[in-house]
Each structure stands twice: as structure tokens, then as C-alpha cells.
């Protein structure tokens, strides 16, 4: 639970109003609700700062608005470190575990609607296969997948636990700029991997979240190109999905490959350049309409 620090004035109505606004921004931003809304750089920074005070650093996905243990899927499970509207996260020694939620564990979003995870198992499978693909074909640091399986309606991913802090949590902007140069090098490496067909390495199509949420019911299929026109994209390369050694400023892991696959290069938003999730800032062009036009061009 959030507790004001010594610098927060709990007796000042303006301070409380500012805190409520910041928390509201964090919830709305990290849940991308509504999808069309644009957030300022200040919104992102406020949300990032607030979450750093409230949530454990391992929480790298949109926050849950659940209010009790049943709603949160039983966050008191042994080893459970975080719960989101889509997954539960566990740590045991050197192992990091993610699993999908069962229907009775689904939570309510900020609109007081049941948040049904969109193609969650397909996305998790895509995460596993793309992680293995990147480990096999590049030197980009990706946590090793130890196991992935179904069990009683849940999908589990078990990976090695990697040390590091999120890029967003580095205190110095100069330090973040150093890391961003390494990130840009990794993006170039990924884009050298090419394909004639859009989608994940196994054929799973898990579009970038900012695109998929426009129409969650559509099932996409794409025709093959005559040339290798599509490059490998991470598609969710935010500062929360990059772990860094705070001493050496070297990247220790690039996480969450669930939206990865072969797409036109413009699909790879440079979201690692600011704190926050993979969404458009105020004043920037919303690229989703153009990306949808591209998808329609190749759709069958």
C-alpha cells in the first residue's frame, strides 16, 4: 500500500489532489486506457516515479487494480512477488516464473470491467519461442528459458533469474543515455534478421499492443513477400523491459518478447527513450493508423 513520504503533505488538499492525479495517471498510463489517449512526458515520469515507490522492481507489466487476495489471484502464494491483470510472477532462488491467470483470477480494470487477457497463451508461447530464437541468433542478453508448459488451464514460463534494475530506475539521465546507445545497437542487430512473412518465428501473430488493442477480435493472416521485406522487431522495447547493471551500465537482459516477430521496420517504436509503457507521447504522431494500413496491405 502507498504511504506518503516525509515530503508528502497529507494535510494539504492540493498535495492530496496532486497525489491522486499522479496515481490516476499511473493507472491509466500503464493500462493504456483509453487506447487513443496520448500522455505527456511528465505523465510518464510521474507514473514511473510513483511506481518505483509502490511496486517491486520485478513488476514489469501493467498494474492490477484488484482489491483483495481473491481478486489478485492469491498474491500470498509462496514465492509470488507480483500480480498483474494477466499474469502472476514468482521467484525461487535463481528461477523466475510467470504464469497466466485462470478465469476466476481475472481482475477488474479502472473502468470496473473484468479484464479478460487477450490471447495470453499465444503471446506467452510467442515470448518463449522468440526468446530462444534471439538467444540462438544474436549476442543480445535474454534470460534462458528453462521450461514452458500447460498445466490445469495455466501456461507457465520458467526462466533463469537475471540480476539488474530496470533502465527506468537509473537515477542519472546521463547514465540512461549510455545504456540507450547499447539498446540502439541491439535494435540494429535484430533488424538484420529478416523474413518474407510477418509474424513470430513459429507463425504466431502477436501484434504490438498499441496496434492489437484497436481490434482485439480480428484474426490476422498475411501473405508472403517475394523478398525478405520484414525485420525482426521486439515491439515492446520500453525502459521497463531492459535490465541494467547499475555499476557497469551494461544491459544484463532484454525482457518480454511476447509481441516480437518479423514486421516492417517502422513497427519498432523507440519507446526505450523515455520512462513508461509503449505508447505515443503528446505531440507525437500516432503511428497506429499507418501501421494498420500496412497490415491491411499484406492481409489475406
pLDDT tens-digit series, residues 37-55:
444 555 555 555 544 443 3
pLDDT for position 56:
35
Q: Mapping DSSP to helix (H, G, I), strand (E, B) and coil, where does residue 8 land?
A: coil
What b/e readout covers 16-25, taking b as 16+ CB neighbours within 10 angstroms? eeebeebbeb
pLDDT tens-digit series, residues 244-277:
999 999 999 999 999 999 999 999 988 888 876 6
pLDDT for position 213:
84
How far apart CA 170 and CA 122 sit, in angstroms, is 32
pLDDT for position 285:
76
Spell out the alpha helix ranges (H) of 32-140.
Answer: 41-54, 120-137
Residues of the chain with pLDDT under 70: 1-76, 276-277, 279-283
User: 5: which 3 cell numbers?
Assistant: 513520504
Contact 268, 191 (CB under 8 A): yes
User: 70: which 3 cell numbers?
Assistant: 481473491
pTM: 0.74
Q: Mapping DSSP to helix (H, G, I), strand (E, B) and coil, where does residue 88 land?
A: strand
Q: CB within 8 A of 260, min separation 6: which ones? A: 126, 127, 130, 134, 200, 206, 232, 233, 234, 235, 236
How far apart CA 139 and CA 128 sit, in angstroms, is 17
**CA dihedral (195, 199, 201, 202) positive or negative:** negative
Question: In terms of Cα–Cα distance, which of 114, 117, 118, 115 is closest to 219?
Answer: 118
Amino acid at each position: 500500500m502507498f504511504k506518503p513520504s516525509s515530503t508528502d503533505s497529507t494535510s494539504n488538499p492540493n498535495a492530496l489532489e496532486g497525489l491522486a492525479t499522479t496515481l490516476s495517471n499511473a493507472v491509466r498510463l500503464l493500462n493504456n486506457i483509453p487506447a487513443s489517449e496520448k500522455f505527456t512526458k511528465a505523465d510518464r515520469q510521474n507514473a514511473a516515479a510513483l511506481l518505483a515507490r509502490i511496486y517491486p522492481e520485478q513488476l514489469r507489466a501493467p498494474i492490477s487494480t484488484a482489491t483483495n487476495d481473491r481478486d489478485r489471484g492469491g498474491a500470498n502464494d509462496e514465492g509470488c512477488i507480483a500480480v498483474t491483470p494477466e499474469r502472476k510472477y514468482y521467484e525461487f532462488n535463481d528461477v523466475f516464473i510467470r504464469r497466466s491467470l485462470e478465469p476466476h483470477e481475472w481482475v477488474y480494470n479502472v473502468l470496473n470491467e473484468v479484464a479478460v487477457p487477450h490471447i495470453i497463451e499465444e503471446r506467452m508461447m510467442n515470448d518463449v519461442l522468440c526468446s530462444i530464437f534471439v538467444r540462438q541468433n544474436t549476442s543480445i542478453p535474454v534470460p534462458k528459458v528453462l521450461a514452458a508448459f500447460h498445466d490445469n488451464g495455466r501456461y507457465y514460463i520458467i526462466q533463469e533469474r537475471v540480476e539488474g534494475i530496470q533502465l527506468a530506475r537509473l537515477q542519472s539521465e546521463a547514465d540512461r543515455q549510455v545504456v540507450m546507445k547499447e539498446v540502439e545497437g541491439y535494435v540494429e542487430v535484430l533488424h538484420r534478421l529478416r523474413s518474407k512473412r510477418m509474424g513470430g518465428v513459429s507463425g504466431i501473430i502477436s501484434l504490438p499492443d498499441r496496434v492489437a488493442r484497436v481490434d482485439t477480435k480480428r484474426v490476422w493472416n498475411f501473405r508472403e513477400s517475394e523478398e525478405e521485406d520484414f525485420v525482426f522487431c521486439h515491439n515492446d522495447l520500453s525502459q521497463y523491459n531492459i535490465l541494467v547493471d547499475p555499476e557497469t551500465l551494461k544491459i544484463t537482459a532484454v525482457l518480454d518478447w511476447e509481441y516480437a516477430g518479423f514486421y516492417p521496420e517502422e513497427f519498432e517504436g523507440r519507446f526505450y527513450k523515455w520512462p513508461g509503457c509503449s505508447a505515443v507521447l503528446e505531440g507525437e504522431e500516432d503511428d497506429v493508423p499507418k501501421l494498420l494500413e500496412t497490415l491491411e496491405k499484406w492481409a489475406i
